Structure 1
Amino acid sequence: MTGQAIREFAPAKVNLSLNVGPLQADGYHPVDSLVVFADWGDVIFAEPAPEGLHLSVSGAHAAALESEAENLVLKAAYALRAAAGRPELSARIVLEKALPVAAGLGGGSADAAATLRALCHLWELDFGARQLAEIGSVLGSDVPACVYSRPLLMRGRGERVSPLLAWPDLHGVVVNPGVPVATGPVFAAYDKTEPQALVPGAMPIAGHGDAAVTLTAALKNDLQTPAIAMVPEIGTVLDALEGLPGCRVARMSGSGASCFGLFDDEPDARTAADEVAAQNPSWLVQPVKFASALV
């Protein structure tokens, strides 16, 4: 074990698109989703400990996790230790929580993935990204994508991950109205629409921002309409984003309630974020850059 503390970033995951198929016999919905990761997120710190696995949580949204008996971070640590066959491995882990909980930003999955990466370094394990993604797949459908934390397609129930070969940086604004949304009820409402079987699309490729935004604009999030019916605040956020000068695309991420708007450049995104925040002081508003495929 190394003696040096490890810091690992856990970026917010945003679904630029989300196509969802009908519920399968295994209890999961097949998905086809274009996913990117922001320069905003949580942070995992891991350092040596005399024995055992210990977790503490700090940050703006730490209180929302106090009631969780076993955080995904600890589950990831135990899963990695089991995969390594090294029950004696120990660590002290700190989760600095900047992302809101139940927000459609993959926060818990990002934390679990960052924990796998951090402890792999701390414990000097010889696991590559593909192996960590396989370990992460038992923790949650979004964890394999979050292990890679780069533009990609998620398919299957999320475990089939295909990193994009060409995708540029994108500039945007992420807005959360402060209303947690449980994923299960949104999917249940979507099931009532009798969804059709998925027809997988082609691998998206874009060499510059305008092409990527145009491609994204032609896509959709199947869960957006049922989510708005359950949580009207999502529609209010989308209306606010769509009304901003320079907003090219406005859409909900995941199962909500967070939404994003895409803009041509960073100044436009920051100006838009300032305007939304000034008009809606109770909302969480964050200008972001979504990293390119060259990460």
Structure 2
Amino acid sequence: MISQFAPAKVNLTLHAGPVRDDGYHPLDSLVVFADWGDHLAAVASDKLELTLSGEGAEQLEAEGNNLVLRAAEALRKAARLPVFAGAKLHLTKAIPMGAGLGGGSSDAAATLRALNRLWHLDWPLDRLIPVAAEIGSDVPACLHARPLRMTGRGEIIEALKVWPVLDAVLCLPGLQVPTGKVFAAFDTGEPTALPPPGDLPSAKTAKDALAVAAAGRNDLERAAISVEPRIGNVLAALNGAPAARLAGLSGSGSTCWALFDSRAQAKTAAEALAAAHPEWVFKPVRLAGTR
């Protein structure tokens, strides 16, 4: 059996420009990955099968052909494998649907990594990237699963050379915020521009990383709050937590994050926030650094 971790993707910054002629928005985002997420297991079989358990499993099952099966079929086609080259896949979900944490994309990336091994393809990462890009804009970033800068529509990836581990709290308020509605609201607001091209973000210490994140922004935050005003309440709660250094929205929402100076501070804050807001879920996490 091959097992793969599918970590939650967190946008520390997300700059967006006006919609392009092809319908996509140009992006420039600083992305990191948490030590919490979904898990995928794969065993050899003569057909492709997927079972699910955990958070939102019933809803995902009702969808039928989700990103995990799409990733498996895309890799099988790219590798020109016969239809009887298959796998029994089991996905254990922890990341809620619509949480803004790239759960589906991370699951698809985990599928590519698992089947690359199970099917003995042993393709290098750069050969898997085009397959990932066909599945979705976030899948190449999730295939890297390390601190990176994401540009284009999300398919252009630049791995950060130096970035520290960060301690954080994720708040999952359980609010459904459709990405399409957020971008539609964004398009009706004041136009924003991407920052000029520059050097890759770099930080040796958590203090340096905090400064980089604070200098950025999430251009979708205002639009997301207009679609779901309760996101503003979540951000206010995180910003008001003792020892919180910076809070923001991940992607188009609804998950928000706050950075702390230590794991102990993040854990203490998560416990206090959960007591004050039992309707929301708080996860103390570590956001992985470069390796």
TM-score, normalised to structure 2's length? 0.97
> 2:14 aligned to 15, 18, 23, which one?
18
Cα displacement string for residues 44-89 of structure 1 (whole angstroms, at most 9, x for unaligned residues): 000011x210000101331231321211000000000011100231
Alignment partners' CA distance in 1, 2:239 and 2:53: 34
Alignment partners' CA distance in 1, 2:185 and 2:197: 23
TM-aligned CA deviation for residue 120 of structure 1: 0.4
Q: Secondary structure at the match of 2:269?
A: helix
Cα pair 1:217 1:248 within 8 Å, conserved: no
> 2:156 aligned to 155, 160, 173, which one?
160
Cα pair 1:18 1:254 within 8 Å, conserved: yes
Cα pair 1:151 1:167 within 8 Å, conserved: yes
Residue 84 (structure 1) aligns with:
79
Cα displacement string for residues 119-166 of structure 1 (whole angstroms, at most 9, x for unaligned residues): 001111031112212111011000000000000000000110000000
CA RMSD of aligned residues (A): 1.0
Residue 177 (structure 2) aligns with:
181
Q: Secondary structure at the match of 1:46?
A: strand
TM-aligned CA deviation for residue 230 of structure 1: 1.1
Q: Which runs of 4+ in 1 moved over 4 A?
A: none
Q: Does 1:289 align with 2:283?
A: no
> 1:132 aligned to 128, 132, 135, which one?
128
Cα pair 1:57 1:96 within 8 Å, conserved: yes
TM-score, normalised to structure 1's length? 0.96
Q: Does 1:71 align with 2:55?
A: no
**Counterparts in 2 of 1:7-46, with a 5 A limit?**
7-46=3-42
Residues 162 and 6 of structure 1: CA distance in aligned 2, closer, same or farther (over 3 Å): same
Q: Does 1:98 align with 2:117?
A: no
Alignment partners' CA distance in 2, 1:157 and 1:127: 24
Q: Which runs of 5+ in 1 are unaligned?
A: none
- Letter aligned with residue 236 of structure 1: N
- Letter aligned with residue 241 of structure 2: L
Residue 237 (structure 1) aligns with:
234
Residue 247 (structure 2) aligns with:
250
Cα displacement string for residues 28-57 of structure 1 (whole angstroms, at most 9, x for unaligned residues): 1110000000000000000011x2100001
Alignment partners' CA distance in 1, 2:79 and 2:274: 46
Q: Secondary structure at the match of 2:4?
A: strand
TM-aligned CA deviation for residue 201 of structure 1: 4.0
Alignment partners' CA distance in 2, 1:217 and 1:36: 15
Q: Secondary structure at the match of 2:275?
A: helix
Residue 206 (structure 1) aligns with:
203
Cα pair 1:76 1:139 within 8 Å, conserved: yes
- Letter aligned with residue 169 of structure 2: V
Equivalent pairs, count: 289
Alignment partners' CA distance in 1, 2:159 and 2:223: 29
- Letter aligned with residue 241 of structure 1: L
Q: Which runs of 5+ in 2 are unaligned?
A: none
Residues 144 and 200 of structure 1: CA distance in aligned 2, closer, same or farther (over 3 Å): same
- Letter aligned with residue 214 of structure 2: A
